[in-house]
Amino acid sequence: MDATQLLKGVLDAAVLAVVDREDGYGYDVVRRLRDAGLDAVGDASVYGTLRRLYAAGALSTYVVPSEGGPHRKYYSITPTGKDLLEAQRAGWAEFSATLTALIAPHSTASAEGASA
Amino acid sequence: MNATTTTPMTNAERAQVFTAQVRENLSDLPTDELDDLLDGLGADLEERIADDGDLGDPLQYADELRQAAGLPPRGALPKPQPKRSLAESLESTRSGISEWFAATPARSGFRDFMLSLRPLWWVTRAIVLVWIGLIVIGHPVANGVPLSFPALVLYVAATVVSVQWGRGKWLPRNWLRHLRTAASIAAVLLVLPVAATLANALLSPAYVDDGYYGPEYSPGLHTNGEQVTNIFAYDCAGELLDGIRLYDQNGTPLTTTLIDPYAGGERMAPDQWNEQTNEQLVMNFNPLATDSGEWNVYPLTASEYSEYTGEPRAPEVVVPPRDAIAPLVQECPVPTSEPGEGSGADDSGDTDGTDSAEKDATL
């Protein structure tokens, strides 16, 4: 399956987790996601997600001037964002456990299903 | 410009150009939203170019950004027309309402039911408007309802037009459609007063300006609000008179009788309540007038209801409330049997004179 499709549903959680570890600006977040193994993540998707999480109150921003270039907008997580991340962590844990069990190679469960 | 030469653009320039292209592709968004979204993008892009070199397609980039930020796709925002016209607002409300009704089976069932009642509305609309129109031009009303043969013709004609309009026919010009809408709105506003008048006309007791619906109520004779059930007359000397005949200023017999349409509509003497015995008395003719059946001859006789049959017993002469009263003047003219002399004693005309003579005979 296309990793981009899978990523769409959990990009919020991934971005929140990255920013929760350390404040970051847009491309910094992209880079850290890729370094973590999410190669397929698109720049624009991450920027859009940051913007949406900010609009939802999960992130706050502050501007840091850069030498000789345009300023950088840093994102940091808010208490609302932490709550959201916690909820998404729990949701993901449950979902991944369910799906792992479901798509596991043939076991007794599927054999019973076939015999019924 | 440098672009024409072999000198490549700097990273900062490429980032700037790319940002401008992305902004162009997001131009339908509100400006403040766009500023927020692209704030800091230049710096990110510059760094990205330094890492990778390729930024891809600005249009695709813009779409991805838009989608991830949860913003509506291009064209979904009606930006070119910041203020919607009234017609568009109405249309939007209309479609909103139809969507709401289509949402659940119960709602759509209700809607379908109401839709099947639409012909009823077409008829109502016509009647309401003609009704109000007739009232406005001062058509005479019966019980609040403007009704006559010409009015009936108008009602029928308006109903035909209204139903045809409802079916989408007879609307060759666009302004006629507007007229139909205006007529519907007016009818909606006016349907309540008309319905109230109609309900009033149908539910209240029949009363029509120039119609006759049976015997009229005649309340009989009252004094100070109390029903007069009998009349006692005394002469100048204070003696009770019997068989006096009363007439009013028009020469009409003056009686205590009444007509109650709810009790048969017959002329009858009202019952009297005997305070002493606590019994109801049925009034009857004066014995002298029994044969002629005249009610204006007093005093009336009375009879009690029988305890056994419930029917009135035989009429009896009523005991007068005053046996005799003091003479009016000391020397009252003594009525004699000679005609002419007695007439001067009475304040009435000749007939009364002869009556007095008659009375004397009975007394």
**Interval B182-205: pLDDT, tens:** 999 999 999 998 898 888 888 876
Across B304-315, average pLDDT: 78
- For residue A70, the chain B residues in CB contact (below 8 A) are 12, 40, 42-43, 46
> What rounded mean pLDDT belongs to chain B?
79
Residue B85 has pLDDT above 80, yes or no: no
Q: How many residues does chain A have?
A: 116
Nearest to A48 among B39, B46, B68 (CB): B68
Q: Do A45 and B67 touch (CB under 8 A)?
A: yes
pLDDT band at B208 (very low <50, low <70, confident <90, very high): low
CB pair distance less than 8 Å for B51 and A31 = yes
Tell me B34's DSSP state: H
Nearest-Cα distance to chain B for A71, in Å, is 6
ipTM of the complex: 0.79
* Contact assessment for residue B155 and residue B135, using Cβ atoms and an 8 Å cutoff: no
pLDDT band at B321 (very low <50, low <70, confident <90, very high): confident
Please give the pLDDT value at position B339.
53
Of B161, B43, B154, nearest in space to A25 by CA: B43
Whether B363 shows a pLDDT value over 50: the answer reads no
pLDDT at B206 over 80: no
Residue B149's CB: how many other CB atoms inside 10 A?
7
Q: What residues are paired with B313 via a beta bridge?
A: none
For residue A47, list chain B residues with Cβ-Cβ distance below 8 A: 37, 41, 44, 65, 68-69
What is the model's pLDDT at position B176? 87
pTM higher than 0.95: no
Over residues B106-165, the pLDDT tens digits come to 888 898 898 899 999 999 999 999 999 998 888 888 777 888 888 899 999 999 999 999
Percentage of chain B beyond pLDDT 70 is 83
* A43 chain-B contacts, CB cut-off 8 A: 44, 48, 61
The CA-based dihedral angle spanning residues A46, A47, A49, A53, taken in that order and rounded to the nearest 10 degrees: 130
Q: Count CA within 13 A, CB hemisphere, residue B98.
A: 6
pLDDT digits (tens, 9 = 90+) for B265-285: 777 888 887 777 777 888 888
d(CA A11, CA A1): 16
Select from B12, B61, B64 the Cβ nearest to the Cβ of A69.
Answer: B12
Q: Do B36 and A71 touch (CB under 8 A)?
A: no
Q: Given an 8 Å threshold on Cβ–Cβ distance, is B65 in contact with A45? A: yes
CA dihedral sign, ordered B218, B219, B220, B222? negative
> Residue B264 pLDDT > 80, yes or no?
no
- Inter-chain contact B64–A44, Cβ cutoff 8 Å? yes
Q: What pLDDT is recorded for position B69?
A: 85
Residue B355 has pLDDT above 90, yes or no: no
* pLDDT of amino acid B140: 82
Partner residues linked to B298 by β-bridges: B244
Q: What are phi and psi of B219, to 5 degrees?
A: -80, -5
Helix (H, G, I), strand (E, B) or coil at B279: strand
pLDDT at position A81 is 92
Distance in Å, alpha carbon of A47 to nearest chain B alpha carbon: 6
| Interface A:B, Cβ pairs < 8 A | 76
Is the CB of A66 less than 8 angstroms away from the CB of B62?
Answer: no
Tell me if A44 and B36 make a contact (CB, 8 A cut-off).
no
**Probe site for chain B from A30, A47, A67, A73 (most B CB atoms < 10 A):** A47
The residue type of B197 is: T
* Residues in chain B within 8 Å Cβ distance of A73: 39-40
